[in-house]
Amino acid sequence: MAAKGRHGHGPPSMTVESFITLAFAVLTMVCFVIIVLLSFGVFSVSNGRYSHASSYRAHDLSNIAHNTIHRDGGDVDYDDDDDGRRGDQWVEVISFEPRASVYHNFLSKEECEHLINISKPHMFRSAVVASATGRVTDSEVRTSSGTFLGRGRDEIVRNIEKRIADFTFIPVENGEGLQVLHYEVGQKYDPHFDFFQDELNLRRGGQRIATIVMYLSDVEEGGETVFPAARGNFSSLPYWNELSACGKGGLSVKPNMGDALLFWNMKPDASVDTSSLHRGCPVIKGNKWSSTKWIRVNEHKV
């Protein structure tokens, strides 16, 4: 009688199809876990030179990045001969409510002096736009002096206006003429909106979507631009102790020659942004020179 063969009954060998199915299931599970961890903020993904941006949090102003833009011939050539005198340029996002940023060294010293010099012979008492009628009127709300420069007045003005258009991505034709302002000691501009609340002014280019304020001089003390309705931990700003009492009334920007403050008067949904309420603090020591460009939704007819 022949002996029975003793063949073992071990686990069946895995087929190629089974291996691929198992690997796909494992990979799917790993991806799912990573997505869950990312959604709960357990860890974040770095993207190299911009990895510092991942640490930003809304309304947290304690960590503002300074990105230096080097003009080495590969970037936009704003002027033929000014980039070497403007110094390092970078943009700080200082607020999300309102949307506001500061472009450092936006103007050169020569450009600042040019705007002041061509404006000095034509200065007059600053006025305000009455919200009910849209008419220009004198008011103690605003005590500075100023003048308007026609759009495209000269080559330097055209270069500045082109640079503003490049910065904001809004055509030159949508901008009003530059307004140059001078604030002496004690002069100020009380809280106000730049967007219109009347129908008369809306007929000439629509609403003011954005404002850019260029500082043409340093100010020894006071003269800050303040947003009292902005949201943020303003006392964490590195220059908090240098601000005047007025400057500590909200998000403040200190006047520094050549810097440009851009803020938006309208939200992305095209409604007006009441958090763009702002004021010019009284100058305590020194003089303040600035230039404002209001930008419309549509072409502004000169």
Q: What is the distance, to the nearest Å, from the Cα of residue 90 to the centroid of all Cα atoms in its chain?
A: 11
38 versus 254: the higher-pLDDT residue is 254
Q: By the 8 A CB rule, do 291 and 179 touch?
A: yes
Quick: pLDDT tens for 46-90: 444 333 433 434 444 444 444 444 433 334 343 444 444 788 999
Nearest to 204 by CA among 278, 125, 301: 301
Summary mean pLDDT of the chain: 82
d(C-alpha 180, C-alpha 213), whole Å: 10
230 versus 58: the higher-pLDDT residue is 230
pLDDT for the residue 10: 52
Q: Does domain 51-296 fall into CATH 2.70.70.10?
A: no
Q: Is the dihedral of CA 189, 190, 196, 198 positive or negative?
A: negative
Give the model's confidence band at 198: pLDDT under 50 very low, under 70 low, under 90 confident, else very high: confident
Q: What is the distance, to the nearest Å, from the Cα of residue 113 to the centroid of all Cα atoms in its chain?
A: 24
Q: By the 8 A CB rule, do 100 and 264 touch?
A: yes
Amino acid found at 147: T
Instruction: Report the helix count and the strand count for the chain, using DSSP H and E.
Output: 4, 16
Reduced to 3 states (helix: H, G, I; strand: E, B; else coil), residue 91 is strand
Average the pLDDT over 244-261 and give the result: 97
Q: By the 8 A CB rule, do 61 and 234 touch?
A: yes
